[in-house]
Amino acid sequence: MDISPQCFSILLVLCIFIQSSAHGQSLKPEPFGRRAQAVETNKTLHETKTRFLLFGETNQGCQIRIHHLDTLQECGFNSSLPLVMIIHGWSESVQFSRSHVHLIGYSLGAHVSGFAGSSIGGTRKIGRITGLDAAGPLFEGSSPSNRLSPDDANFVDAIHTFTREHMGLSVGIKQPIGHYDFYPNGGSFQPGCHFLELYRHIAKHGLNAITQTIKCSHERSVHLFIDSLLHASTQSVAYLCSDMDSFSQGLCLSCKKGRCNTLGYHVRQEPRSKSKRLFLVTRAQSPFKVYHYQFKIQFINQTETPIQTTFTVSLLGTKEKMQKIPITLGKGIARNKTYSFLITLDVDIGELIMIKFKWESSAVWANVWNTVQTIIPWSTGPRHPGLVLKTIRVKAGETQQRTTFCSENTDDLQLRPTQEKIFVKCEIKSKTSKRKIR
């Protein structure tokens, strides 16, 4: 190869695609206990199978090693010169099926992956493309041919993590661009990435904390995908829904007819004619998985005006228990209305067997409540009106199990300020009542 007199650098990337069956290697992640061995194996494969060669005016192919920044200096890399990247693919003579290819692109790279997929001629497409918070500016609202789209591969999945708009633009694209589009925490912003977390980022990243905070939500898509590989036994599940508001009410925890899917590497690949938007809640750090529950409660408000208050729910499962999860119901509790809301847990508590529901009002408010009832003897309503809770219906998203809970004390169904009531499975309560009758 003749080198032009003009100084420039050419980075030659030899990407050798190796069919795993030919070498007896599995592409699936190893069990968690063998991760150290897997990392060492992957490191060896990177060093021996993929070569990064830098060609310049003074060298004829100096190898750059991954995670060894000193090799850049050794090879004479000059950051002030233009950089040309040549990426070698595979030849049809190798008889490697395109359907085995999985392209993963982050930000602008997601659309580049789409262009690579769409540019391949013939009837055989690339097997899969994953877009990790694909870039929004200049791509939002564009035609499918000008961005990543479901037509670019046999299966396209996308994870949207930073679609919040600033001056009409968002870093990540908001519109659906795949067969399955995942919107963790609504897709606009991610937990743990707010500027209020800056002090924590300073402790972790030092002077780079501000940069890390700004790109935190955008990069979360990458970490979510990596998380699906590191924690193969605890995959995050997302659910088909129209928007995050409906999802936050617990209205979308259905897995019927493909309405739910796994986020990340292990997604169930079902090409659809129409894009599906799926939502889920995640933790602020790895492992990101949470467990979703829909709670439906019918309140009977014995007062004339809506009650503005906060409740806490404590859950007891067969594996774990969770204490005092706060709940606030919008504009207050009106008369005879059923409320649905979403509760998420960081741990698997197993099968839910008992619920403690408490009206969290201050002692001052409780005294005022009782005083008002005492000084109004002419009131035609109940002497000590409150809220009546008959049943609590719960649906677990991950197991799809539905359970109805009844008050343990059927003689007094009223819930008053600072009071806590215990709810158990209705069938258990029914059996207990029958034994008492006998």
Q: Based on DSSP, count helices (H) and strands (E) in the chain, helices before strands.
A: 9, 22
Higher pLDDT, 336 or 402: 402
Distance CA 432, CA 437 (A): 9
User: Binning pLDDT at 50, 70 and 90, where does residue 84 land?
Assistant: confident
Indicate the domain borders of the chain.
Answer: 82-280, 291-370+385-425
- The H-or-E segment that residue 432 falls in is helix 426-437
Distance CA 339, CA 118 (A): 47
Binding residues for Ca(2+): 147, 152
Q: Which pLDDT score is estimated for 317?
A: 96
267 backbone dihedrals φ, ψ, rounded to 5° = -60, 145
- The H-or-E segment that residue 130 falls in is strand 128-132
pLDDT at position 343 over 70? yes
The mean-pLDDT minimum among 40-49, 235-244, 391-400 falls in 40-49
Highest mean pLDDT out of 27-31, 237-241, 298-302, 432-436: 237-241
User: Binning pLDDT at 50, 70 and 90, where does residue 91 land?
Assistant: low
Q: Which of 9, 111, 118, 133 is catalytic?
A: 133
Could you read off the pLDDT of 357-406 as tens digits, one per residue?
Answer: 998 865 555 555 555 555 555 444 444 457 888 899 999 999 999 999 99
pLDDT at position 29 over 80? no
Q: Which pLDDT score is estimated for 203?
A: 64
User: Binning pLDDT at 50, 70 and 90, where does residue 211 land?
Assistant: low
Q: Which pLDDT score is estimated for 9?
A: 37
Distance CA 260, CA 29 (A): 23
Distance CA 220, CA 160 (A): 9
Higher pLDDT, 294 or 75: 294
Higher pLDDT, 180 or 100: 180
Instruction: Calculate the average pLDDT of the chain.
Output: 80
pLDDT at position 125 over 70? yes
Q: Looking at the domain that runs over 291-370+385-425, which CATH code has it been given? A: 2.60.60.20
pTM to 2 decimal places: 0.75
What's the gap between Cα 143 and its chain centre? 27
> Which residues are CB-neighbours of 208 under 8 A, at least 6 positions away?
none
The mean-pLDDT minimum among 2-6, 248-252, 337-341 falls in 2-6
CA neighbours closer than 13 Å in the CB half-sphere of residue 150: 14
Could you read off the pLDDT of 196-206 as tens digits, one per residue?
Answer: 655 565 666 66
Q: Which pLDDT score is estimated for 213?
A: 65
Question: Could you give the residue ranges of the DSSP H alpha helices within 178-287?
Answer: 198-205, 209-230, 244-248
Nearest to 359 by CA among 395, 320, 322, 333: 333
Q: Provide the CATH topology of domain 82-280.
A: Rossmann fold (3.40.50)
Q: What is the DSSP letter of 65?
A: P
Q: Which pLDDT score is estimated for 184?
A: 98
Q: Which of 107, 221, 236, 361 is catalytic?
A: 107
Could you read off the pLDDT of 133-143 as tens digits, one per residue?
Answer: 999 999 999 99
424 backbone dihedrals φ, ψ, rounded to 5° = -125, 170
Yes or no: say if 158 and 110 are a contact pair by the CB < 8 Å rule. yes
Q: Residue 226 is encoded by which pair of tokens?
A: 């990596």
Q: What is the mean pLDDT of residues 169-184?
A: 95
Q: Which pLDDT score is estimated for 20?
A: 34
Q: Which residues sit opposite 310 in a β-bridge? A: 328, 360
Nearest to 9 by CA among 98, 82, 95: 82
Quote the Cα angle for 50-56-57, to 5°: 155
Q: Which pLDDT score is estimated for 165?
A: 86
Distance CA 290, CA 186 (A): 15
Handedness of CA 186, 189, 190, 196 (dihedral sign): negative
Q: Which pLDDT score is estimated for 169?
A: 82
Indicate if 218 belongs to the active site: yes
Binding residues: 147, 152
